[in-house]
A and B are shown apart, each in its own frame.
Chain A
């Protein structure tokens, strides 16, 4: 049971929900940039939510299936095709042995997640399968996928259940699908005030809250550099390094913010304008360089309410999908 990587794509890495408990040792959390798409890919493939998925960026890889598999693709639409035929996202898809999965132009979003029913057979390192490139741990030997990699897949019960025996097609998509509740068209990102919010001039704060910012090409899994009105401090002040998080908006001396993303360092010493709320991180993850975003302030309480609500939605989706899968409805 395996997948063969024919071409690596721009940056294809194994990710899961992240590495917990080691930040005090300077070991970053990592994990999927779009945790929502990552979770749903697993749910649609009948996997536990902490199973690893393959995160693919802008230019997807080319993958040969050496056995029959059921996969689910979620997140950004990078024009997935099996043997030249487009296949849909947000639903389970049966892919036959010998078929080739490729990607084309990015239609919307920036990152696609692929879960394979049964899960990637990889040993966790420090409690997680997430690839941490800098330290060389997790995923496939701590690195991005490359040509000729062989990804072993665990056996899946789903494959036996799925009613696909009467067809010769290389890929069969489920007739049902889930409609993601987040949309990559929404480019307003909500945030809560950072610890140093009041250090910024009134003009800077007002600019931050009303004007557009553009994602620059200097953006990766560690952080997004965004360009917009210059954000200045009322007076120069020194700050001791302290913990930062996925979504922390920090502002170096130049006045152009950096939003810390999944591979951010555990600590940082720049003033923090804000913290993007967790339910809006997927919007950021799917943003492409050159695209614009705006920021809207909210409260911790509101962010927490939305977080719990999102969790309930995911639970609901899981129970619906499980029902379908148990009946063998592919």
Chain B
């Protein structure tokens, strides 16, 4: 039996699907698979893009130029081989410690903290406590450089998007949209309810890797003061 479903989505891309629904188990499977890809050094592999339920593999078609029509089949075989030889490990969770992200929830940064609190009939302090208690799995990075799609937020602090998106949201802003929470890595327009800001760069092209997070990580936020924010921002 095959361990994944395979879709040739272009001349040089193959989508490897592990399931249909978002789940912790699937996220672990995908993390394990991308770890395997990192270890294998397949000569045809250009890069891969993990998503909620699948991983898209970009390959070098010229590696198969003697028989390009068989490239997808051969890649499928090689992937099935690495997946079957690591069957046992899929049972183990490859999850490590969550990445700790400092957030200043002061009014200056958390413009919509009041609104989120009122919407849920909570105090601002309660919103902050609930937001910092959660451990949020990173399902994928997309939308913009370093932007994490996080899961696992409690419904107790869920809030609808702003009716009027802001033309500019500063980099590092931490927000809530529906039952999702997230961080804006770059200054962009956006409709999320902004509850705080982190001094960390989620995307820094001068760093290797350029993004703080990757699919398969998990995140926990912790509260810092304005002074600490400024100190971390400068360092």
Contact = CB atoms under 8 A, between A and B. Distances in A.
Interface string A18-37: 00111111111000000000
B144 A275 contact: no
Interface string B1-42: 000000111111101000000100000000000100000000
Contacts of B132: none
A313 to B, nearest CB: 13
A243 B52 contact: no
Contacts of B143: 26, 265, 267
Interface in A1-42: 20-28
Interface in B41-100: 46-54, 56, 58, 61-62, 65, 68-69, 71-72
Interface stretch (A48-56, A143-151, A302-310): A302-310
Given A135-B186, A275-B10, A304-B61, A242 B51 contact: yes
B117 interface: no
B186 A195 contact: no
B51 A267 contact: yes
Interface string A266-284: 1100000001011000000
Contacts of B53: 240, 242
A238 B185 CA distance: 26
B145 A26 contact: yes
A164 B147 CA distance: 53
Interface residues of B, number: 46
B149 to A, nearest CB: 7
B142 interface: yes
A26 B47 CA distance: 12
A209 B43 CA distance: 37
B203 interface: yes
Contact of A192 (B10, B48, B56, B140): B10
B218 to A, nearest CB: 17
B214 interface: yes
5 contacts: A24-B50, A25-B211, A126-B210, A240-B22, A245-B10
Interface of A: 20-28, 125-126, 134-135, 137, 192, 194-195, 240-243, 245, 247, 265-267, 275, 277-278, 300-301, 303-305, 307-308, 311
